[in-house]
């Protein structure tokens, strides 16, 4: 009989965050959601921020809840979205609040860089130049908030911030760091030439963590807060939620296609090594780092954010909150069957998403919004984007696949799944909306069982996943 191990995983997304407890025993992992809260950006004087301290307090409160009920975790790990970061001074204090990638000043920076330089940055790092990459936001602060940059001595990504608050140790996790475009996907290190190009000191980044290893044990003050005298280790896991979710995909082959569908849709394939060439650049793909230095060759596309914004606007119109099923099943007055460019800048963060879509499809409906039709247009467009991107991925890799795994909250949208099966002519295998938490917990197991490989971890997690297969002719 194997030892029972309890692991806590903080899973933070753009729309919600939650703490889950994973219990591993007899080669089986069971997961329980302890608490979940909505997440949202805060708009202050035209700038969008994240309330990181509120999320951290949520973590502390619910770790305390676990202790009080006798479920003291044997380890803790954190996964969040990518690209966003906090600045820290020489004494280790955070400088101001954490800005969101939904601010547009990163776009202002990238628009001033010559195309040849952007291509060179890709060839150096394997990471596509994108307006939301951390480097463009960080570079913009040099002019926008120079006093903060002047005081800066350390840069921590959001999950690194949680790990620092828990342990007092500054560390940069590789999957998260790869979303900055300062990290070289070939060397798995911060690229000093890229730092020099942007005038960013490479010394601002800390030691790079190793998946499955301990970052440190929780601080005495944290032990006091949660009411435990146990030295709980904080584990380095793929802290970019995409990398964590892909870790949980129950694939039995070395390479496979996936879509990680949440606020963003990350569409791509898991590979052993990065592919850095003109074809990849032309296809708009990027080489992010996954679990145990795997590569997720992917495209960062618009995901459920458009539908999330539309749902909020519809709720404001009707004056009440409704379920996702109610919203997605609104009957259309008519069906346009149009396809829009779901990745258009028009849908990045408009004041009214429904108006932006109506303008894009040249709707003549000047009266009541045809919500059902707009939902149909968005779902068709998302599925078409999935299909065309996956085709590009196959072209770059030089290999065809019969199936695609979908993980994340968006995997629950059965109509997009059916449309994607129709457009790709592939089996669509959904793995549920708990993949980020499962991947986080699975990699924590490597700390307790160093002999566990990614393949064996996936074999364990497979029993915790309810898979649904959508066939092309369903």
Q: What is the pLDDT of residues 434-456, one digit of tens each?
A: 999 999 999 999 999 999 999 99
CA–CA distance, 59 with 247 (Å, rounded to integer): 23
105-to-110, 120, 139, 462 alpha-carbon distances in Å:
9, 22, 9, 42
Q: What is the pLDDT of residue 165?
A: 98
Q: Which of 345, 341, 344, 352 is nearest to 385 (CA)?
A: 341
Q: Which of 97, 109, 82 is nearest to 179 (CA)?
A: 82
Q: Which of 118, 276, 111, 127 is nearest to 197 (CA)?
A: 118
Q: What is the pLDDT of residue 158?
A: 98
Tokens of 313: 């606007």
Q: Is there a common fold for 5-235 and 251-430?
A: yes
Tokens of 354: 């429904």
Write down the pTM of the prediction. Answer: 0.90
Query: 269 pLDDT band (50/70/90 cuts)?
Result: very high
Q: What is the pLDDT of residue 22?
A: 97
Residue ranges in 156-285 assigned as alpha helix (H) = 158-167, 174-177, 192-198, 220-226, 241-247, 278-283
Domain 251-430 has CATH 3.30.420.40: yes
CA–CA distance, 48 with 180 (Å, rounded to integer): 19
Q: Are strands 295-302 and 183-184 parallel, antiparallel or unpaired?
A: unpaired
Query: 363 pLDDT band (50/70/90 cuts)?
Result: low
Q: What is the pLDDT of residue 1?
A: 44
> Could you name the CATH architecture of 5-235?
2-Layer Sandwich (3.30)
Tokens of 22: 């994973």
Q: What is the pLDDT of residues 318-353, one digit of tens each?
A: 999 999 999 999 999 888 788 999 999 999 889 999
CA–CA distance, 84 with 162 (Å, rounded to integer): 13
Task: Give the domain ranges of the chain.
Answer: 5-235, 251-430
Q: What is the pLDDT of residues 224-263, one digit of tens each?
A: 999 999 999 999 999 999 999 999 999 988 899 999 998 8
């Amino acid at each position: 009989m194997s030892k029972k191990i309890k692991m806590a995983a903080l899973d933070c997304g753009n729309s919600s965050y939650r703490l889950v407890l994973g219990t591993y025993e007899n080669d089986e992992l069971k997961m329980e959601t302890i608490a979940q809260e909505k997440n949202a950006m805060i708009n202050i004087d035209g700038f969008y921020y994240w309330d990181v301290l509120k999320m951290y307090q949520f973590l502390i409160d619910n770790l305390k809840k676990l202790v009080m009920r006798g479920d003291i975790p044997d380890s803790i790990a954190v996964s969040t979205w990518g690209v966003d970061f906090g600045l820290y001074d020489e004494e280790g204090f955070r400088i101001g609040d954490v800005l969101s990638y939904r601010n547009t000043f990163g776009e202002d920076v990238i628009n001033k860089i010559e195309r040849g330089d952007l291509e060179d940055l890709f060839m150096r790092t394997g990471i596509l130049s994108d307006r939301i990459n951390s480097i463009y936001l960080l570079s913009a602060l040099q002019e926008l908030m120079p006093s903060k940059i002047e005081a800066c001595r350390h840069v921590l990504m959001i999950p690194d911030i949680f790990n620092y608050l828990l342990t007092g140790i500054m560390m940069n996790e590789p999957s998260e760091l790869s979303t900055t475009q300062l990290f070289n996907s070939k060397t798995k290190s911060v690229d000093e030439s890229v730092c020099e190009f942007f005038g960013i000191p490479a010394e601002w980044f800390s030691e790079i963590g190793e998946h499955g290893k301990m970052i440190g044990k929780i601080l005495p003050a944290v032990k006091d807060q949660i009411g435990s005298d146990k030295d709980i280790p904080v584990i380095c896991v793929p802290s970019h939620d995409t990398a964590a979710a892909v870790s949980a995909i129950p694939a039995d082959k070395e390479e496979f296609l996936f879509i990680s569908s949440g606020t963003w849709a990350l569409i791509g394939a898991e590979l052993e090594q990065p592919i850095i060439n003109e074809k990849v650049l032309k296809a708009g793909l990027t080489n992010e780092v996954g679990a145990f230095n795997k590569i997720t060759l992917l495209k960062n596309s618009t995901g459920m954010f458009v539908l999330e914004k539309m749902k909020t606007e519809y709720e404001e119109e009707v004056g009440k909150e409704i379920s996702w099923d109610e919203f997605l099943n609104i009957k259309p007055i008519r069906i346009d069957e149009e396809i829009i460019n779901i990745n258009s800048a028009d849908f990045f963060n408009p004041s009214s998403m429904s108006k932006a879509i109506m303008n894009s499809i040249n709707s003549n409906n000047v009266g009541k919004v045809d919500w059902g039709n707009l939902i149909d247009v968005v779902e068709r467009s998302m599925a078409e984007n999935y299909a065309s991107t996956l085709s590009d991925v196959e072209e770059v890799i030089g290999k065809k696949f019969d199936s695609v795994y979908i993980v994340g909250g968006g995997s629950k949208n059965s109509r997009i799944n059916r449309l994607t099966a129709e457009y790709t002519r592939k089996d669509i295998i959904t793995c549920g909306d708990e993949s980020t938490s499962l991947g986080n917990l699975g990699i924590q197991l490597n700390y307790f069982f160093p002999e566990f490989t990614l393949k064996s971890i996936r074999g364990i997690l497979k029993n915790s996943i309810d898979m649904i297969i959508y066939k092309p002719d369903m």
